[in-house]
Amino acid sequence: MKAALMVFLGGGLGSVFRYLITKFIIQNEHSLPLGTFTVNIIGSLLLGLILGISLKNNYLSSNTMLFLATGFCGGFTTFSTFAVENQSLLRSGDYLNFVLYAFGSIVVGILAVSVGLYFSKFI
């Protein structure tokens, strides 16, 4: 029960941060969905840092990992919105932005996790 509470609290906090960040990033219907892109990349970087610190130092308890990694990062990032935004780009015939957004998100997201893992060595 405590584990579920940690995920619930972290997920709620992550979702609020995602909402606030995407509201501060101006988006329009004719450009890349920069709000979702931003939170997904930041979330990937944070997850890399969290996992790296945990692996390196065995520093984070299982409840802290559930709160930060599963809860916060899970609530902060969003695959479903990513999928809907890609579908919207396809439906509108904006194939260039679809390719840039879809593949850019995947490649930069993986790189962000790697950067987070790398920098966790110095923490």
Q: Which pLDDT score is estimated for 41?
A: 97
User: What local confidence, expressed as pLDDT, does residue 114 receive?
Assistant: 98
pLDDT score of 29: 56
Residue pair 109/47 in contact by the 8 Å Cβ criterion? no
Full 3-state SS string of 44-93: HHHHHHHHHHHHHHCCCCHHHHHHHHHHHHHHHCCHHHHHHHHHHHHHCC
77 is in an annotated binding site: yes
Q: How far apart are the first and last CA of the chain?
A: 31
The backbone torsions φ and ψ at residue 91, rounded to the nearest 5 degrees and listed phi first, read -60, -35
pLDDT in tens, 19-63: 999 888 866 655 789 999 999 999 999 999 999 999 888 878 999
pLDDT tens track for 77-113: 999 999 999 999 999 999 999 999 999 999 999 999 9
Say if residue 74 carries a ligand binding annotation: yes
